[in-house]
Structure 1
């Protein structure tokens, strides 16, 4: 097992090094005539960006001083996002490059086909001196010109993509509304609204101001119930307690509930469960509560198994009245199979971020039964939110953040 892990790590490192060499070659080596400061600066930017990125990841997981995490996080995580789109850009440039070269060749051929006019001879006032300096400017070759055009386009496109994706996160999540009919929901509960918020990821990048925007967005929907389905934080209560303080302002007629996500178990789950309870949220740790019209249950995240606090569906859903509808809060979509076995009507999840950075959605689809939206599994429906925040780069591309308002519908209405 150790050998397999080491080989996989070496393969990943080789791919990473090769990808970054390829970026450097296309953006810096191929756009210059000879070795010089531009190439050295390019190598320094790429190497420095990865040093910051690795430093940010290590500092977060190792519990480094919070000020150091914040110093490293912004440039390091943004470089991660930028490097993805620089690589995608130079790959796309391989398609553009021969097309642009062909256009230039055709234009050059067309100019050569036009007969040249005889130049007018103008008598010179004085014969030129043999040692007069030449004023001819060096004209880049066609290949060099194409490389510079493509590299410039790649840089602008990558920076624009990351910039717009970061703006989309920092401005706060948008509200998404989905109607979900439940067979066992009584007529009196028709139109019951659940605000689902997941993956806020408060940390060294997204802090108190972002938490306040999320809370304002949730409260603005005037929900009957609020479901916070995990991955609230990336850090300790000591560092992020002030950032999470706005959660005390969450308001709903039937309360706000919380279940753990995998990142809580990286950040001190027991302390965070106690903190959210202090802020007025009601943690459902493998537990169920009976609301006037249906049951609301919650299970711990599967990451809690390493600490002896994994999901326990029997404890959360056993001995319940099977004639009543039940809504389950479970952070990861993969928990849907246990939910089906226990007769859950609707599972609310997050975790996937919808892929967060395209084409990350392709990876997310391979690892999760549902990446985003509403799908049915037998008699159980699963809704997966893309989440309100972001992990790592505070950037989303092709997977906008959301707070979802689930409006329950009774088939008896």
Structure 2
């Protein structure tokens, strides 16, 4: 197992190096003069940014001070998002670049990769004439580059012009996509409303509202201000019950306790409940179970609460199995009255089949982020029965939230963050 993990990490690092090497060729070497300042800056950036990304991914696990985590996380994680879309746009641009260079070679077979010497007036006049414009006189010869290559060589080749145009367009698309996705996360989640009929729900509970909050991911990037935005949004919906279904944090209570403090102001007449997600176990789930209890939330650790109109149950996340505290459906649901409706809080959608076997009417989950970064939704579909939204499995309905935050890059593309208000409906109403 360890050998396979090591091989996977080595493969990922090798791929990371190859992608950055290719991007350096296309975006730095092909667009800048040798030994010039722009090339030096580009080369330094293409080395530093992936190192910051690796540091962002490993600093927390390595026990680095929280301030260090914050310093490396912003540029490191944002570069991962830019890298994804820069690679995709450059792959799309590659055949366009090849076509332009082929046409260039057809028109000018002597086109060079290096900056050429100044063309003669006759060549320039012939080029201008072929383009349908007025003749252009030859420019005066430029001064030679300063010793050591501090400036660009004279002139701009057509090949370099094509490289700059294609590369600049791809970079603008990638940065614009990431900027828009980051703005969507940092402004806070929107509210989504879903109508869910439950056959066993009594008439008196018709219209009961559950605010579902998942995957906040408080950490070195998203902090107290993000929590406050979520709390304000939830309270404005005036829910009857609040369900936080895991992945609240990426870190320990010592570092993130202040960031979680606004949760104390959540308000719902039937209370606020919490179940663990896989990320809680990365930093110690029990400390967070104890802390959210201090904040006024009610942890459901393989437990059930009999509410006035239905049973509310919660199970630990699958990641807890490594610590002997995994999901226990028998403890949470085994002895209940099945004539009553049951709503289950479970972080990962994959436990839906256990929920079906135990007669759950509605399971509320998160975990997938809806894919978070397109085309990540296609990968999420391979590992989860439902990536986002409401689906039925036998007599059990499953609702999966896209989440209120973001893991890694504070960016979402094609999967906007949300807080879902699930409105229960009774067939007797």
TM-score by length of 2: 0.88
Residue 16 of structure 2 aligns to a residue whose secondary structure is helix
Tell me, yes or no, if structure 1 residue 401 matches structure 2 residue 417.
Answer: yes
SS of the aligned residue for 1:358 comes to coil
Name the counterpart of 1:153: 169
Q: Distance between the aligned counterparts of 1:26 and 1:115, measured in 2?
A: 31
1:21: which partner in 2? 21
Q: Does the CA contact (< 8 Å) of 1:63 and 1:235 recur in 2?
A: no
Match of 1:222 among 238, 249, 264: 238
Say if 1:201 and 1:232, in contact at 8 Å, map to a contact too: yes
SS in 1 for 2:60: helix
Q: 1:412 to 1:30 in 2, by over 3 A?
A: same
Q: Does 1:331 align with 2:338?
A: no
* Aligned equivalent of 2:371: 355
CA deviation profile, 1:52-93 (whole Å, cap 9, x unmatched):
111122211123211111111111111111111111121111
SS in 2 for 1:185: coil
**1:311 matches 2:327:** yes
Report if the CA contact (8 A) 2:78-2:410 is conserved: yes
1:276 aligned to 2:292?
Answer: yes
Corresponding residue SS for 1:328: strand
Q: Take 1:91 and 1:105, find their aligned partners in 2: how far apart are those partners?
A: 22
> 3-state SS of the aligned residue for 1:73?
helix
Q: Does residue 1:190 correspond to 2:206, yes or no?
A: yes
**Cα–Cα, structure 1 residues 134 and 288, in superposed 2: closer, same or farther, change >3 Å?**
same
Distance in 1, matches of 2:225 and 2:132, equals 68
**Residue equivalent to 1:64:** 64
Q: Which residue of 2 aligns with 1:388?
A: 404
Correspondence for 1:55: 55
- Equivalent pair of 2:189/2:405 in contact (CA under 8 Å): yes
Which residue is equivalent to 2:223?
Answer: 207
Number of equivalences: 402
Provide the C-alpha distance between the structure 2 equivalents of 1:280 and 1:224, rounded to a whole number of angstroms.
Answer: 15
Aligned partner of 1:41 in structure 2 is 41
Instruction: Describe the shift of the 1:142–1:251 C-alpha distance in structure 2 as closer, same or farther (beyond 3 A).
Output: same
CA deviation after TM superposition for structure 1 residue 228, in Å = 0.3
Write out per-residue CA displacement over residues 117-158 of structure 1, whole angstroms, 9 at most, x where no aligned residue: 9999xxxxxxxxxxx963699553332211110111111111
The structure-2 alpha-carbon separation of the partners of 1:247 and 1:80, relative to structure 1 and needing over 3 Å to count, comes to same
> What is the alpha-carbon distance in structure 2 between the residues aligned to residue 393 and residue 220 of structure 1?
28
Aligned-residue CA RMSD (Å): 2.5
Cα drift, residue 274 of structure 1: 0.8
For the 8 Å contact 1:93–1:150, the answer to whether it is kept is yes
Name the residue aligned to 1:126: none
* Cα deviation 1:13-38 (Å, max 9, x = unaligned): 22111111111111111113435433
Which residues of structure 2 form unaligned runs of 5+?
A: 109-125, 144-152
Q: How does 1:111-126 map to 2 (within 5 A)?
A: none
Give the TM-score, by structure 1 length.
0.91
SS state of the match for residue 404, structure 1? strand
Local SS of the residue matching 2:59: helix
Deviations 1:347-386 (A, max 9, x none): 0000111111111111111111111111111111111101
Q: Is the 8 A contact 1:201 1:233 kept in 2?
A: yes
2:85 paired residue number: 85
The answer on whether the counterparts of 1:302 and 1:311 sit within 8 Å (CA) in structure 2 is yes
Gaps of 5+ in 1: 121-131
